[in-house]
A and B are shown apart, each in its own frame.
Chain A
Amino acid sequence: MKLSDMPLGKPATITAVRGEGALRLRLLDMGIIPKTAVVVKKVAPLGDPLQIHLRGYELTIRRAEADLILVEVAG
């Protein structure tokens, strides 16, 4: 499923990072790569962007970007 569809606070594991060009490279550089644990922490008051937690730090990405990140619920 997409990261953007994950319920808040539920741990997930990244399975794939879609997208292309500079945007995808940026996501990869920030540590958004397969097998990484990630949690959606918060949604901004106006519904976008999202605040996510990974690798011990907080990152905000827009929904459009979160749509490109595929995850599975961490087991």
Chain B
Amino acid sequence: MIFALAGNPNSGKTTLFNQLTGANQRTGNFPGVTIDQKSGLMKYDRRCTLVDLPGIYSLRPYSGEEVITRDFLLHSVPQGIINIVDATNLERNLYLTLQLLVLRIPMVVALNMMDEVRQNGDSIDTQKLSELLGVPVVPISASKNEGLEELTKQAIRVASKEIKPLVQDFCAPGPIHRCIHAVYHQIEDHAVEARLSGRFAAVKLIEGDEDILARLQLGENEKQTIEHLVTEMEAECGTDRHAVMAEMRYAYIESVCRQAVRRVAAESREYRRSVRLDRILTHRYLALPLFFGIMVLVFYLTFGVIGAALADMLESGIGVLTAGVDRLLGDFGLNPVLHSLIIDGIFAGVGSVLSFLPIIVVLFFFLSILEDSGYMARIAFVMDQLLRKIGLSGRSVVPLLIGFGCTIPALMATRTLSSERDRKMTILLAPFMSCSAKVPVYAVFAAAFFPRSAAWVMTGLYFGGILVAVLVALLLKRTAFSGNPVPFVMELPNYRFPSLKTTLRLIWDKAKDFLTRAFTIIFVATLVIWVLVSFDYRFNVVTDSSHSLLAGIGHLLVPLFAPLGFGHWQAVTALLSGLAAKEAVVSSLGVLLGVSAEGLPTVLAALFTLPAALSFLTFVLLYPPCVAAMAATRRELRSGVKTVGVVLSQCGIAWLASLLVYQVARLLF
């Protein structure tokens, strides 16, 4: 049997999914966290599959999440629906419930967060609620694992006996009632043919749902009759069709709550706690400094303390392992080419990618806490005004900031954005946030050319990246992403303590996701780079890296870079090797120019003019980040073609910006 899990964002849906299935899936105290449909076998009955649907507020065909949920419920027709409802926010949550009820699919309501309701001294008469909704209502606490066995039992009971919801009439006798019934009779046969619930189709038709209209394949006469019926109803009610239906549902919900809910205080403890916290966290003057303070702390802990320590440990571990294998292979007398493939290709390549892992794990640990606590929604609230100017909404600020640390987790973090438009734009912009791996390149050049104003050059580069991102965003806003931005109507959930279980699950998911890629696409990419570095065009092993295939490509590309002021093959080849990892730019320059790290600034100062050095730095700032980031882009955009497009446009932007910098700098210096 297949069950669908449906409910509002922030209703604890993903927590319930994790508890019912034990599968690895993420959860967040932020609207719209779930994007992909995930499913798992149910713990209490392994013959049942549970599909986690995106959190939605209504069954309309507008946002991506709504379309996914609707299509699944209408096409796949699960044997049962488990509708999770936040008992502390019953009114708004029941709005979706009423729409699910008319689908005529066996259903149970899981009344979540009942522990909070009880602690506040409030009570909900589940018997009464069940009677008024016509489906079983099971009080649960997903986070405390309470009532879940009973929930599973009830779900299986209604599904196996095909017990449909008993209530589907939410309107008092009058014009609305008459209209729904008249439309229902008009379309009854069509609905059966289209395999839709007649009641659902009738209500949606009255609401002007184009998708349902198309599915029903009505004749012109029928359409006209329906339009006439609806116009008549509008005239009698004095409002339009959309408001009429929403008002009908909320009027029914209000009466349900009056009969079944008893509240002691007007405001819950959790609500009052949130208001107190918000007095500081979204305070007029404190909000922005606190937000930046928190981000700086997260960065410092990730890149400065915990992440760095873990990365060092991992690196030395890999180092020891590599040295051991290296010695073994040497003793064994393996063919030197194969030896180099294993050590310089596989171990070096995969090892350098693996060194990102601790940073990703630690960063997502903090992100998960920010999100599950409800603070992320506040960040969106505080930052929205600033990001709207470039066509984004406040939610994008966190992935963009993470980009300053590392592009890969930044791209992975866009998953929390509920609007596809915002998500794609953020994916395109995040790489322009100068990542921490570029710092060594800046440092070497700053030492060579601007020893006294290194800090200024660095700051300038960071702001240069932001400037380019803003310009690109403005361009995108006017072209590819023109049209109406998504309305920013977002719930501010109560602050909650994040659960360790959820956090660990998220970290595990992200680590697994990254490792899968590290050993597939990134593995192949590092092998390709090894081949390019190790062989010449006759496929003989090179002893001098200046004869390698990579250097050959570098030579070929020299004319392309001449207008940018650094038309020498060493610089170009170093940039190419930087595609593996940005740190490689410095080491390649050293190898190709035949100098040690200490001697590098002196040699560079001779090779580059000052404008050429600025131009080179600009190019490093803007050209595509490493292979791992490209793989992440592909994963998030779910398209190879689009990823190639993104990478090429990044190259184009870098080229144009460097040209501009070089030509202007030549006039100035």
Is the A/B pair a real complex?
yes
Stretch at the interface among B87-95, B148-156, B176-184: B87-95
Q: Is B242 an interface residue (CB 8 A)?
A: yes
Verify B60–A60 contact, CB threshold 8 A.
Answer: no
Name B284's contact: one of A29, A45, A48 (CB within 8 Å): A45
Verify A34–B243 contact, CB threshold 8 A.
Answer: yes
Verify A31–B91 contact, CB threshold 8 A.
Answer: yes
Q: Nearest chain B CB to A70's CB is how many angstroms away?
A: 12
Q: Is B285 an interface residue (CB 8 A)?
A: yes
Verify B57–A29 contact, CB threshold 8 A.
Answer: yes
A-facing mask of B273-295, CB < 8 A → 1, else 0?
Answer: 01000100011110110000000
Q: Nearest chain A CB to B123's CB is how many angstroms away?
A: 16
Give the complex CA separation of A61 and B242 in angstroms. 20
Measured between beta carbons, the chain A residues less than 8 angstroms from B60 are 22, 25, 29
Q: Nearest chain A CB to B10's CB is how many angstroms away?
A: 9
Q: Nearest chain B CB to A72's CB is how many angstroms away?
A: 17
Stretch at the interface among B164-172, B482-490, B561-569, B641-649: B482-490
Residues of A within 8 A of B (CB): 17, 22-31, 33-34, 36, 42-49, 51, 55-62, 65
Q: Nearest chain B CB to A14's CB is how many angstroms away?
A: 11
Q: Is B246 an interface residue (CB 8 A)?
A: yes
Give the complex CA separation of A65 and B136 in angstroms. 38
Contacts A33-B246, A45-B285 given: A55-B91 contact, CB under 8 Å?
Answer: yes
Residue of B nearest to A42 (CB): B282
Stretch at the interface among B212-220, B351-359, B379-387: B379-387
Residue of A nearest to B248 (CB): A33
Residue of B nearest to A61 (CB): B489
Measured between beta carbons, the chain B residues less than 8 angstroms from A56 are 88-92
Measured between beta carbons, the chain B residues less than 8 angstroms from A55 are 91-92
Name B242's contact: one of A28, A30, A36, A44 (CB within 8 Å): A28
Q: Nearest chain A CB to B379's CB is how many angstroms away?
A: 11
Measured between beta carbons, the chain A residues less than 8 angstroms from B247 are 33-34
- B482-515 contacts to A, CB under 8 A, are 484, 487-493
Verify A29–B243 contact, CB threshold 8 A.
Answer: no
Verify B282–A59 contact, CB threshold 8 A.
Answer: no
Verify B381–A28 contact, CB threshold 8 A.
Answer: no
Verify B92–A61 contact, CB threshold 8 A.
Answer: no
A-B pair number, CB within 8 angstroms:
108
Residue of B nearest to A55 (CB): B91
Q: A56-B89, A59-B489, A60-B488 are in contact. List 4 more A-B contacts (CB 8 A).
A: A22-B487, A33-B246, A60-B380, A65-B487
Measured between beta carbons, the chain B residues less than 8 angstroms from A29 are 57-58, 60, 95, 246
Give the complex CA separation of A62 and B389 in angstroms. 13
Contacts A59-B491, A62-B384 given: A45-B288 contact, CB under 8 Å?
Answer: yes
Verify A45–B62 contact, CB threshold 8 A.
Answer: no
Verify B57–A58 contact, CB threshold 8 A.
Answer: no
Would you list 23 pairs from A and B whose C-beta atoms are within 8 A, ordered by A residue?
A17-B243, A22-B60, A22-B62, A24-B242, A26-B57, A26-B58, A28-B243, A28-B246, A31-B250, A34-B243, A44-B287, A44-B381, A49-B384, A49-B385, A56-B92, A57-B89, A58-B492, A58-B493, A61-B487, A62-B388, A62-B487, A65-B487, A65-B489
Contacts A24-B242, A30-B489, A60-B492 given: A44-B92 contact, CB under 8 Å?
Answer: no
Measured between beta carbons, the chain A residues less than 8 angstroms from B384 are 44, 46, 48-49, 60, 62
- B231-271 contacts to A, CB under 8 A, are 239, 242-243, 246-247, 250
Verify B385–A27 contact, CB threshold 8 A.
Answer: no
Contacts A48-B385, A49-B384 given: A31-B489 contact, CB under 8 Å?
Answer: no
Verify A30–B283 contact, CB threshold 8 A.
Answer: no
Residue of B nearest to A45 (CB): B287
Measured between beta carbons, the chain B residues less than 8 angstroms from A28 are 242-243, 246
Measured between beta carbons, the chain A residues less than 8 angstroms from B95 are 29, 31
Measured between beta carbons, the chain B residues less than 8 angstroms from A23 are 484, 487, 489
Name A27's contact: one of B239, B274, B489 (CB within 8 Å): B489
Q: Nearest chain B CB to A17's CB is how many angstroms away?
A: 7
Measured between beta carbons, the chain A residues less than 8 angstroms from B246 are 28-29, 33
- B374-425 contacts to A, CB under 8 A, are 380-382, 384-386, 388
Measured between beta carbons, the chain B residues less than 8 angstroms from A51 are 282, 381, 492
Residue of A nearest to B384 (CB): A49
Q: Nearest chain A CB to B92's CB is how many angstroms away?
A: 5
Measured between beta carbons, the chain A residues less than 8 angstroms from B282 are 42, 44-45, 51
Give the complex CA separation of A70 and B285 in angstroms. 30
Measured between beta carbons, the chain A residues less than 8 angstroms from B488 are 49, 60-62, 65
Q: Nearest chain A CB to B276's CB is how many angstroms away?
A: 13
